[in-house]
Amino acid sequence: MIAQSFFFLDKNISGKKIILRKLERYDLEASITWLKDPTVNKFLSHNFKELTIDEELQWFNSIQLSNKDMVFSIIAKDKNKYIGNCGLHRIDWVSKTCELGIVIGNKEYWNKGYGSDVINSITDFAINKLNLVNIHLNVYEYNNRAIKAYKNAGFKLIKILKKNHLYDNKYWDTYVMEYS
Ligand SMILES: CC(C)(COP(=O)(O)OP(=O)(O)OC[C@H]1O[C@@H](n2cnc3c(N)ncnc32)[C@H](O)[C@@H]1OP(=O)(O)O)[C@@H](O)C(=O)NCCC(=O)NCCS
């Protein structure tokens, strides 16, 4: 069974350097390795250090049935390589809002413009295909690369949640950003 939201995906989303296709079960093994990597998950909203493949599978199955989530695999066009995941979450079809998530798990692909291309492409899809009007996200103040990539794609800082995130024995701000 496929979630209703994926009926909007008549073809894969194509950017300059990436293709976004539906996340498949066979992607999960690489995905869990990335999520458990402390140099990656320090930037993410959940601490995935203890994540098991069973829990990952459960999450994957729930996504298949969800009308509020669309999760994509990021494929680098140059080598047709799977490098990360991105998704639209908490899609509210009435207020036309959603939350954006992205992780490029293969660190060889950081800082080469792939993330900005993904963010541009998925934002364009959300606005022009799904007819959403507002996309928001949370990002930690120490994630300067992500903040820059979001700004590159037109996201604006709208709120700062002061010192609400504990990392490395320190409390950090969370920035709320949106595209509208
Ligand atoms: C965040 C992420 C998606 C960005 O993708 P990316 O492909 O690495 O980023 P891009 O190369 O497209 O853009 C990065 C921008 O940040 C800049 N940058 C990199 N390091 C920086 C730093 N320490 N301070 C300020 N800017 C920085 C780059 O110069 C580039 O800007 P430019 O294109 O204007 O020169 C990716 O690095 C990633 O998945 N990281 C781990 C998980 C994560 O942080 N997810 C987001 C959670 S909110």
Q: What is the pLDDT of residue 3?
A: 60
List of the chain residues with pLDDT < 50: 1
Closest listed residue to residue 95, CA positions, set 178, 1, 14: 178
CB of 40 within 6 A of ligand 1: the answer is yes
Q: For ligand 1, pick from 142, 148, 176 the residue to mutate: most ligand atoms within 8 Å of CB.
A: 148
Q: What is the pLDDT of residue 7?
A: 67
**Residue 120 CA from chain centroid, whole number:** 12
Q: What is the pLDDT of residue 152?
A: 94
Q: What is the pLDDT of residue 49?
A: 86
Contact 86, 118 (CB under 8 A): yes
Distance 33 CA to ligand 1 centre (A): 20
CATH, range 4-132:
3.40.630.30
Closest listed residue to residue 178, CA positions, set 152, 154, 145: 154
CB of 16 within 6 A of ligand 1: the answer is no
Q: What is the pLDDT of residue 117?
A: 97
Distance 149 CA to ligand 1 centre (A): 5
CB of 146 within 6 A of ligand 1: the answer is yes
Ligand 1, atom 33, residue with closest C-alpha: 113
**Amino acid letter at 21?**
R
DSSP at 79: T
Count CA within 13 A, CB hemisphere, residue 153: 27
As separate numbers, helices (DSSP H) first and strands (DSSP E) second, the chain gives 5, 8
Q: What is the pLDDT of residue 61?
A: 95
Does the model's pTM come out above 0.85? yes
Ligand 1, atom 16, residue with closest C-alpha: 145
Q: What is the pLDDT of residue 123?
A: 98
Q: What is the pLDDT of residue 5?
A: 72
